Amino acid sequence: MTDVIFDPLDHTPAYLRLAGRIRARILDRELVPGSTLPTETELARQFGVNRSTVREALRNLQSAGLVDRRGGGKKLYVSRPTVTAVGGGLSEALSLHDARFTDVWEALLVMEPAIAAAAARRRSRAQSQELARLADAFGASDLEATRAVELVGRFFRAIGSASGNPVYVLANEPLVQLVEPSLAIIIDRLPQARRRIASAQRTLAEAVAGKDEEAARSWMRRHIEDFRRGFELAGLPLETVVGRREGSDPPRSQSRAGTVPSRGV
């Protein structure tokens, strides 16, 4: 007697299968960002399911950033996940996987110089002007720490945008989000930090404006190394697990890790 092999039954909930069908259309670009989806009633009719199943599927897609209701209206639009949302999810994942600040710095040393070189190669005039504007804004006197950290983050994101490479932009975002809390401590504890950051930003902006790839690459590497030295001088242990809140217990595998305030990304 020939053995008969059956595939297992698919017990995936209907709402997930429905969401998967819509997600596939979006990823195949059959549904492009900005286009409208049918109403819940029409989707229920087409898929042959209850509206409650459609609602659960749409919630799933909304949480992934693939559909949205603009302005709280009833119409459903195809969207795409924002860079901030993607970065937030990845930074949380890195924290949960016990990534340490030393790991983040290592990644920054590989990525940021390459991003800066690409920005020098591809930047538009408007992007070059934005970098110069951000560098000037950071160099302003009496800048409170919170605003200073915000401007540092915006400078790194502007360089990422100028690179013209969406992979760089998305990969860069979680790292920027992870180091921002420690930057606030560095700026607060080290009087020389503001001056050194301002100088590096001006030089980087000039290198990008001049389309000098090697200068942009070299100066970004120096900038990242300087951040690492500032981290150490501020008394922040490099074995700290990123995103760990003040006073929380370190994981068993990271018993030497310290703590720094988390932004809760």
Q: What is the CATH number of the domain that holds 111?
A: 1.20.120.530
Residue 145 reports pLDDT greater than 60 = yes
Q: Is residue 259 part of a domain?
A: no
CA angle 165, 181, 149 (to 5 degrees): 70
Mark whether 38 and 111 lie in a shared domain: no
Mark whether 165 and 60 lie in a shared domain: no
Residue 243 reports pLDDT greater than 80 = no
Angle between helices 213-233 and 166-189 (to 10 degrees): 40
Q: Give the pLDDT of residue 143.
A: 81
pLDDT band at 245 (very low <50, low <70, confident <90, very high): low
Find the mean pLDDT for residues 166-193: 89
pLDDT band at 181 (very low <50, low <70, confident <90, very high): confident
Q: Is residue 262 part of a domain?
A: no
Mark whether 99 and 134 lie in a shared domain: yes
Tally of domains within the chain? 2
pTM to 2 decimals?
0.77
**Residues ≥6 apart with Cβ < 8 Å to 28:** none
End residue of a domain, out of 78, 106, 133: 78
Q: Give the pLDDT of residue 69.
A: 85
pLDDT band at 163 (very low <50, low <70, confident <90, very high): very high
- Calculate the CA 147 to chain-centre distance: 19
- CA torsion sign for 193, 111, 261, 228 is negative
Residue 85 reports pLDDT greater than 70 = yes
pLDDT in tens, 228-238: 899 889 988 88
Q: Is residue 202 part of a domain?
A: yes
Q: How far, CA to CA in Å, does 231 sit from each of 15, 34, 86, 171, 247?
A: 47, 43, 26, 22, 19
Residue 244 reports pLDDT greater than 70 = no
Q: Give the pLDDT of residue 184.
A: 86
- Pairing relationship of beta strands 67-68 and 77-78 according to DSSP bridges: antiparallel
Mark whether 44 and 92 lie in a shared domain: no
Find the mean pLDDT for residues 59-86: 86
End residue of a domain, out of 63, 78, 93: 78
Mark whether 28 and 101 lie in a shared domain: no
Mark whether 38 and 160 lie in a shared domain: no
Q: Is residue 5 part of a domain?
A: no
Mark whether 24 and 148 lie in a shared domain: no
Q: Is 174 helix (H, G, I), strand (E, B) or coil?
A: helix
Taking all residues of the chain, what is their mean pLDDT, rounded to a whole number?
Answer: 86
> Which is more confident, 74 or 108?
108
Tokens of 59: 């919630």
Mark whether 58 and 137 lie in a shared domain: no
Q: What share of the chain has pLDDT > 70, as a percent? A: 89
Looking at residue 67, the DSSP 8-state letter turns out to be: E
d(CA 39, CA 193): 54
Mark whether 151 and 209 lie in a shared domain: yes
In terms of Cβ atoms closer than 10 Å to its own Cβ (0-12, 13-18, 19+), residue 74 is: exposed
CATH classification at residue 48: 1.10.10.10
> Could you list the residue range(s) of the whole structural domain that residue 183 is in?
84-254
Q: Give the pLDDT of residue 191.
A: 86
